[in-house]
A and B are shown apart, each in its own frame.
Chain A
Amino acid sequence: MAKEILQIKDLRVLFPIRSGFWNRITDYVRAVDGVNFSINEGETYGLIGESGSGKSTTGKAIVGVQKATSGQIIYDGLDVTKAHNRKKISYNKDVQMIFQDSMSSLNPRKRIEDIIAEPIRNFEDLTTDEERKRVQELLDIVGMPSDSIYKFPHEFSGGQRQRIGVARAVATNPKLIVADEPTSALDLSVQAQVLNFMKHIQQQYNISYLFISHDLGVVKHMSENIAIMHRGRLVEVGTRDEIYNHPMHIYTKRLLSAIPKVDVEHREENKRHREEVEAEFQHDQKRWYDEDGRVFPLQQLSPTHWVALPKQEVQAQMKEEK
């Protein structure tokens, strides 16, 4: 059994809604509403969700840019939702982030050298020469030419910028990288480049990834374990095989059936299947969600497979499958 590097326990992030004359808090947006999962060392954990499902908020809470309302994130035996704990165990050095939009996540006024060196300067005490050597190494890893240290972000293409983002994230030898939609702004061939680099770096340095994306194809390519998020809660958790080949929750099935497939021969069948799933989803909301429209608590099916359905529903589905 692989070692767990990060555990997330009942994480909640609520955003207050203020209204009325006194501008008092009248309700909350439950962006992340009781999420549990854990990431193993050296593996990629995929977090899938549609826009507004709370997947990015989860990622931000893990890195510590977003304060968690309640719940725990355990790293190295300490709860890192508290800032002083993060400082104590060099959590901020060990956990880095790759952002979606490489243009707005790189400072346009800084040269690449300063951009990549910034995390190194924060955590390590290197001389100028050592630092430059380090930056060169990092650029080598992501396959960028060595003269790019003198350039500015706007001089690069989208794929190159994203690779600079990857280089910056690995600069401090992190153990976990939260990658929030790292390739969704990129073209297909460039996406392939960035994903390959991320995989190579992972094998070389034994990094774990939390790979947040809405693209089920990319997540399947990258991750071993996957969680599907919907309305701030996890709908289904499992290994790649369990999620893609034996989905239990209607929402997972719906997502899977909606991916456009490069399968021209079976176009009509795919469409019919999609319509069936959609009809099932629309028809009986009560079966899948509770009275408030929230996702049910997770039920365990196998050591790795969890699904958010009431008990009797799980049993009924099990029978169906047999």
Chain B
Amino acid sequence: MDRQKDVLLDIQHLHTAYRLSGKFYDAADDINLTLKKDEILAIVGESGCGKSTIAASIIGLYDHKNTKVTGDILYKELNLVGLNENLFDKIRGNNIGMIFQDPLSSLNPLMRVGDQVAETLYYHTEMNEQERHARVIELFNQVGMPKPEEMYAMYPHELSGGLRQRVVIAIAIACKPEIIIADEPTTALDVTIQAQILDLLEDIQRQSHSGIILITHDLGVVAETADQVAVMYAGQIIEKADVKTIFGHPLHPYTRSLLNSMPQADDEEAADLHVIQGTVPSLKNMPRTGDRFAARIPWIPASAHESKPVMHEVAPGHLVRCTCYKEFHFQDQPAQEGAGA
């Protein structure tokens, strides 16, 4: 089937649990996601919701002693869960590239940036030294570094934040990976640089037809770049849809609250921002039954929630967890009949 062929990454029932004082707690709970070719999939959520845990699970960068990963992460036919480390080394950096949040701590401070890009090529290709050098220059050109020949011999501390992030991107795309995972790639950057980096990611994706998983907490970034969006709360995906639906017709109470609490550059009156009551539960205290968001919308009767919330497909491609969205209204608004239906 054609549709099947485009699927790069298929995550099924992924559970990632961390050991805390002897017990395992699910930080990512029953995650189902698919990433297709030519697609930017954004995973949004606040800190501690498990979005980076998913990234770590995909790329196998977790502490194997204290982490338990179950479920399936299918890269084409290959299951990445429990994959042999030697095999994983061939895939990591080669078929799956990763861009980290803080470029200063993900680059080696004692190595010239050009050599750091060439290192990836050394492990994954059979190029000789000249070819590698030429390819690094080509990559530096591609990611828009000025004077690539000079940049090759620079150390990370000599570069600005934006340039450092470009080096990290060059490392990630060096082997033309089919999947790029970008974990908060622009959080540490200024807005103007952020815009440039996001444009660059889009360009790379258009040229290479790879799939990008963009992990971020910034709804603006999502609205500007993503195709598909998964919103996470407390380890679960609570809403999944294409970007227009998420911002045009959000259904889950959490998505709607989050969008409401955003100060926007184009809202005129300076009214109070919407505040979500309470706090995100910590990993240990997370409720394991019922709707995890219920505690933060106490004015919604308990009968509105499902006892075991599952994802409901309300429209083709638009999935929402729990049925409470049907009765949800903001606290300062009167209840509407069938608001979400």
Contacts and interface: CB of A to CB of B under 8 A. Distances in A.
Interface of A: 50-51, 157-160, 187-193, 195-196, 199, 214, 216-218, 220-222, 244, 254-265, 267, 270-271, 274
9 contacts: A50-B190, A188-B262, A189-B257, A196-B272, A221-B273, A260-B198, A260-B224, A264-B248, A265-B244
A243 to B, nearest CB: 10
A254 B192 contact: yes
B221 A260 contact: yes
B264 interface: yes
Interface stretch (B76-84, B103-111, B175-183, B274-282): B274-282
Contacts of A255: 191-192
Contacts of B223: 260-264, 267
Given A188-B261, A244-B265, A259 B220 contact: yes
Given A221-B270, A260-B191, A262-B220, 17 more contacts: A157-B279, A188-B46, A189-B261, A192-B262, A192-B273, A193-B275, A196-B272, A199-B272, A217-B220, A217-B264, A221-B273, A257-B195, A258-B195, A260-B220, A261-B220, A261-B265, A270-B224
B191 A187 contact: no
Given A187-B47, A192-B275, A267-B223, A262 B195 contact: no
A264 B247 contact: yes
B131 interface: no
A259 B244 contact: no
B294 to A, nearest CB: 16
Given A196-B275, A267-B224, A270-B224, A218 B192 contact: no
Given A50-B192, A188-B219, A258-B192, A264 B273 contact: no
B217 interface: yes
Contacts of B264: 217, 220-221, 262
Interface string B47-63: 10000000000000000
Interface centre among A160, A254, A271 (most CB of B within 10 A): A271
Interface residues of B, number: 38
A60 B153 CA distance: 37
A261 B191 CA distance: 12
B270 A222 contact: yes
Contacts of A263: 223, 247
B191 to A, nearest CB: 4
Interface in B216-266: 217-221, 223-224, 243-244, 247-248, 257-259, 261-266
Given A189-B257, A261-B223, A271 B275 contact: no
Contacts of B258: 188-189
Interface in B265-317: 265-267, 270, 272-276, 279
B6 interface: no
A220 B265 contact: yes
A275 B179 CA distance: 27
Contact of B273 (A196, A244, A259, A274): A196
A74 B248 CA distance: 49
A221 B261 contact: no
Contacts of B192: 50, 254-255, 258
B194 interface: yes
B247 A217 contact: no
Contacts of B129: none
Contacts of B161: 51
Contact of B218 (A220, A244, A260, A267): A260
B199 interface: yes
The 10 closest A-B pairs by CB, nearest first: A260-B220, A221-B263, A192-B273, A192-B261, A187-B46, A258-B195, A50-B190, A189-B276, A258-B191, A260-B224
Contacts of A187: 46-47, 217
A195 B199 CA distance: 31
